[in-house]
Amino acid sequence: MISRNRRLRTNDSIRGLVRETNLTTNDLVLPMFVMEGNNKKEAISSMPGVFRQSLDLTVQTVKENYDLGIKAVNLYMKVSDNLKDNTGKEAWNPNGLMQNTIKAIKDAVPGVVVMPDVALDPYSMYGHDGIIKNGKIDNDSTVEALVKMGISHAEAGADILAPSDMMDGRVLAMREGLEENGFTDVGILSYAAKYASAFYGPFRSALDSAPVDVQEIPADKKTYQMDFHNSREAIDEALRDVEEGADIIMIKPGMPYLDIVSKIRELITQPIAVYQVSGEYAMLKAAAQNGWLDNDKVLLESLTCIKRAGADMIFTYAAPEVAKLLNR
Catalytic site positions: 194, 252
Instruction: Kindly state the greatest CA–CA separation across the chain.
Output: 73
- Give yes or no for a contact between 184 and 211, defined as CB atoms under 8 angstroms apart: no
Cα 11 to Cα 314: distance, rounded to the nearest angstrom: 29
Cα 231 to Cα 256: distance, rounded to the nearest angstrom: 12
Instruction: Give the closest residue to 323 by CA, choosing from 300, 297, 293.
Output: 300
Cα 325 to Cα 275: distance, rounded to the nearest angstrom: 20
Q: Is 185 exposed, middle or buried (0-12, 13-18, 19+ CB in 10 A)?
A: exposed
The packing angle between helices 319-327 and 55-68, to 10°, is 30
Cα 217 to Cα 48: distance, rounded to the nearest angstrom: 33
Residues annotated within a binding site: 237
Cα 264 to Cα 155: distance, rounded to the nearest angstrom: 32
Residues annotated within a binding site for Mg(2+): 237
Instruction: Give the closest residue to 229 by CA, choosing from 190, 188, 269, 196.
Output: 196
The C-alpha angle with vertex 69 and arms to 64 and 73, in degrees rounded to 5, equals: 70
Give CA torsion, residues 156, 35, 58, 304, to 10 deg.
-100
Which DSSP string corresponds to 176-245?
HHHHHTT-TT-EEEEEEEEB--GGGHHHHHHHT-----BTTB-SS-TTTSBPTT-SHHHHHHHHHHHHTT
The packing angle between helices 278-289 and 295-309, to 10°, is 150
